[in-house]
Structure 1
C-alpha cells in the first residue's frame, strides 16, 4: 500500500507540482557503484573458519518461507525446485513458497508483512529494493560471513561462475546484500526483413540511423489504401523505466549525482527530446490501451520495440501464429558514439530471517539454488541472461530453438548496470510518469528541461529530502 501511495504522490507532483506530504523515512544511502561492463575484475573469496552458532545438523524440521516475484513457466520451475529440495536435502529443511506474481506485488505484500506479521525468510528482489529495505534497519542481513565460511560457504569456483559485474552489484561497501538469481536485459526487437525491404541493409547503430529507419517504416504505412494504419509503422514506444533509462544511457546520461538519483541532466534532456520528436513526427507511437507489442510487430505495424529478454519467447509464438517468416533480431539501443549499450537488471536471493537457525537454513537453500545446473534451468525458463560466461553452456541449447536468445547472449560484452541506490524504487515511478507525459502530448520540447527539474523535485519529496 505504501508503494501505491508513493506512486499517487509522484503523479500528483508531476502534474501539478503540489507537495506530496508523507512520513517518508530519511534515506541511509550506500556509496553508489558506477556503471560498468562485464570485464570488471573478478571477485575472490578467502575461506574463514568462523564458527557457526547453529550447525547444519541441528536444522531438522526447520521451516522457512521463500517469497519470489516470478510467474508463468519460471514460477512453475521454482515450485518444482522447491519440491526437489524439500524431498532431498539432508538437513531436513522445509521451504514454503509465497508467490505474489510480480516484483510490485511482492513489495506491497512484503511491506505489509514487515508491519503486521512475520516477513519471509528468503526473498528474490532487485538490489535497489534490498538497499531501500535497509534504510532504517538491518532488514536484509549481510551474507559475507556465509559466503566466506569454510564450512558452508562458496568455493572460488562457485564465485567464478558469476560475472564479476553481477556478483559485485550485490555487495556495497563490504556488505553483501544478496546472491544473483536472475538477470534480464533491455533490448530492441527489430524486423530485419522489413528494414531490408525498406532499403536498410544493417540495423541502426546511432540514434540518427534509428530515426531514419523508423520514420521510413512509418512513411511506408501511409502509402497503402488503409488509412487506419497511417499512425503506425515506426517505433512502438513504452514508458517502462528501463526503456527510458536505456535511451538516456544511449545519450550519455549519468543517473547518480552526489549519492542520489538525478534526472536533471543535459544528456537525459537530449534523450527525452529525441523521443518526443520521434513521437511528434509520428515515427514513434503507442497504443492508447497500452497493449503488448507482439501482435503489432508480427503484423508489421511496428519496425522495432523495446523488450525484456522474457519477451523473446512470446514474440516467437506470435510470429508463428501470424504466419510471419520475417527475420527478427535482437539489437542494442543505438548510441551517439556507435558503441552498443545494454542495461541489465534482475532479482537476487537475500535473507531477511533474524533467527540463527533460519538464517543458516535460508543460506543453504540459496546455495543449493545457485548450483550451475539449477541456474541454467532458470535461464531456460524465461530466456534470460546466463549469470556469467562459465554458465552459458548450462542453457546453450536454448539457442537452437530461439536464435534471438543467442543474439542477446552475444551482447553480454556490452552489458551495464545502473548505479545502485535506494532511490531507484521511487525514481522508476517518477521516470515512468514523466514518460507518460512525454508521449501524451502534454509536454513540448521547450518544457523538457523544466520537466527533468520537476522530476528531481518530486523524487526529493518522495525520499523526504
Structure 2
C-alpha cells in the first residue's frame, strides 16, 4: 500500500488567506488588516428505508461466510480506537465481554490511541509497514484516505446482509436513518457509526420567556428577534448568539437556509443564493450587535451567566454546561434546539465509525462479529452513558429511558434525530471544512463588506474544487 499523502490546504491556505485579506483591505481602504422547561417533543422518525440495491441484496441473503467460519475459532485481532471523552473508557469492558461470550473464542486486543490526530499518523505508519489492526475507528474523511492509499477498507455490505452472520431486518429498521446512511459511500458500506455527535443550539428558555418569547424560534427571523432582544437587555455587547465558525456550526446554518454543501454529481456547492443568504444572516447578526464572540472556545460559564441566549455547540457539551449552571447558581431551564431553518429545522451529525481493514477472511469475519456486537443496543447504551454521544437506534433510547438516565437535555437532543443531516462524506472534507471555517470567520470582521459575500463564496468554491480534486474526487 502507498503512504497517505497529506492534502495541501496548508499551502493553498496562503493563497486563500491572501484573497480574504484583499477583500477586507478593499472594504476598509486600509493597508493594515488583522491577518433546558421542555416544550413540544418532535415526532418519532420513520423506520429506515433501504435503497433498491440494498433491497436486492437483502432479499438474496447469501451465505458467504459459513466456510470461513469453520476456521474462525481462536482468531486474534486488534481493535484500534480513540477514547477522548471525560468519563472512564467503556470500550475495554465491552471488548472484555465480547472476548468472554463470543462463540468462536475470538480474542480482541483493544488499544486506545488517545487522539484522533495522532491516530491518523499511526495508521499512515501502519499502512506503510503493512502491520495493520483489523478493526479501527475513523472519521469518513480518514478512512477514505486510508482506502485511497491501497484499498485498505473492507466493504461491509456482504457481511451486513449475510444470512448467517448479517443484521436482521428488525435491527436494520431500528437504526435512525441518518446513522444507517452515514457510511454508505457510493454503492459500498465502509463502516458503521460508533460515537456520533451532533451540533445543536443551546437555548436559555427561562430567560427567553422573561424577554416575552414563549415559543422556540423556528425560523431565522424569529432567532434574530430573540437574539437581539437578549443583546438589548444586557446592553453591554453580550446577550445574543455566541459566534461559532466551526465547520459543523456553519454547515448547520447553511442547511437551515435550505442550501446543500454537495452536488448530486459529487463535489461541493458553496456558491449559491442560499449559502449567500446564510452568510448574510450571520454577518447581520454581528453587525447589529446581536451576536458576539467570547474569548473562550467553550463559553459554558458565559452561557450560564446569561451572556448569551443562544450557544452553538456539540451535544457532548451537555454535562459541562450543566456544571457551569450549578457553579453559577443559576436555575434557568436550558435546552438544545435545532438550527431554525427556512426548509425546516436541522442538526449536523458527525463522528467516527467502526471500520474493518483488509486482512485474512477469518480476521475480517472476526472483525465483523465484533462490530455487530458493538452495535447491540446494550453496548450503545454503555457508550452513551459515559461519553454522551448519540445512540444509533431507537431501541437504545428506550433502554436509556427505562434506566431513568438523568440527562433531560440529551433526551431532547435525541428526539431531533429526524432532523439530522451528516457532514459531507468526502476524503477532502477535512481540508475543505477548514476553508469553510476560514471563509465564515471573515464575515464577522468589523470591516467586512456584505457586498463581497458572493466574491468570497466564489473563491471558497474554487478552493474546495481544488482540494476535492487533490483528494481524488472523493
Does the 8 A contact of 1:93 with 1:361 survive in 2? yes
> Does residue 1:54 correspond to 2:68, yes or no?
yes
Query: After the TM superposition, which of the residue ranges 38-47 and 179-188 deviates more from structure 2?
Result: 38-47
Equivalent positions of 1:71-82 (< 5 A) are: 71-73=84-86, 76-82=89-95
Shift of 1:419: 5.0
Equivalent positions of 1:78-93 (< 5 A) are: 78-93=91-106
Change (3 A) 1:104 1:266: farther
> Does residue 1:274 correspond to 2:281, yes or no?
yes
Shift of 1:464: 3.6
Q: Distance in 2 between matches of 1:217 and 1:129?
A: 41
Shift of 1:52: 4.6
Does the 8 A contact of 2:377 with 2:396 survive in 1? yes
Residue 366 of structure 2, aligned match among 361, 364, 368: 361
> Does residue 1:312 correspond to 2:325, yes or no?
no
> Does residue 1:155 correspond to 2:160, yes or no?
no
Shift of 1:335: 1.3
> Does residue 1:179 correspond to 2:211, yes or no?
no
Change (3 A) 1:374 1:74: farther
Shift of 1:55: 2.1
Q: Distance in 2 between matches of 1:170 and 1:291?
A: 29
Change (3 A) 1:88 1:453: same
Task: Tell me which residue corresponds to 2:30.
Answer: none
Structure 2: runs of 5+ lacking an equivalent = 21-43
Q: Distance in 1 between matches of 2:88 and 2:301?
A: 25
Task: Tell me which residue corresponds to 2:302.
Answer: 296
Shift of 1:297: 0.6
Q: Distance in 1 between matches of 2:446 and 2:14?
A: 17
- Tell me the TM-score normalized by structure 2: 0.84
Task: Tell me which residue corresponds to 2:212.
Answer: 199
| 1:38-74 Cα distance to aligned partner (Å, 9 max, x none) | 54753353421224553265341x3322222331356
Does the 8 A contact of 2:227 with 2:239 survive in 1? yes
| 1:86-131 Cα distance to aligned partner (Å, 9 max, x none) | 3443433232233333443432332333234523221222334433
Task: Tell me which residue corresponds to 2:380.
Answer: 375
Q: Distance in 2 between matches of 1:171 and 1:264?
A: 26
> Does residue 1:260 correspond to 2:286, yes or no?
no
Does the 8 A contact of 1:160 with 1:390 survive in 2? no
Structure 1: runs of 5+ lacking an equivalent = 19-36, 223-229
In structure 2, the residue corresponding to 1:435 is in which secondary structure? helix
Q: Distance in 2 between matches of 1:322 and 1:398?
A: 29
Shift of 1:362: 1.0
Change (3 A) 1:267 1:395: same
| 1:287-344 Cα distance to aligned partner (Å, 9 max, x none) | 34x431211111111111112111112211221122110010111111125x322222
Equivalent positions of 1:43-442 (< 5 A) are: 43=50, 45-46=58-59, 47-52=61-66, 54-55=68-69, 57-60=71-74, 62-73=75-86, 76-116=89-129, 118-135=131-148, 137-222=150-235, 230-257=236-263, 258-288=265-295, 290-337=296-343, 339-397=344-402, 400-418=405-423, 420-441=425-446
Does the 8 A contact of 1:342 with 1:415 survive in 2? yes
Does the 8 A contact of 1:10 with 1:430 survive in 2? no
Q: Distance in 1 between matches of 2:444 and 2:122?
A: 32
Q: Distance in 1 between matches of 2:447 and 2:70?
A: 60
Does the 8 A contact of 2:139 with 2:351 survive in 1? yes
Query: After the TM superposition, which of the residue ranges 158-167 and 293-302 deviates more from structure 2?
Result: 158-167
Q: Distance in 2 between matches of 1:374 and 1:56?
A: 27
Shift of 1:261: 1.5
Change (3 A) 1:460 1:111: farther
Task: Tell me which residue corresponds to 2:15.
Answer: 13
Aligned pairs, number? 437
Change (3 A) 1:3 1:344: farther
Does the 8 A contact of 2:243 with 2:293 survive in 1? yes
Task: Tell me which residue corresponds to 2:454.
Answer: 449
Does the 8 A contact of 2:48 with 2:175 survive in 1? no
Change (3 A) 1:151 1:336: closer
Q: Distance in 2 between matches of 1:114 and 1:312?
A: 37
Change (3 A) 1:359 1:149: same
CA RMSD across the alignment: 2.7
Query: After the TM superposition, which of the residue ranges 405-414 and 391-400 deviates more from structure 2?
Result: 391-400
Q: Distance in 2 between matches of 1:390 and 1:455?
A: 41
Change (3 A) 1:356 1:431: same
Change (3 A) 1:343 1:39: farther
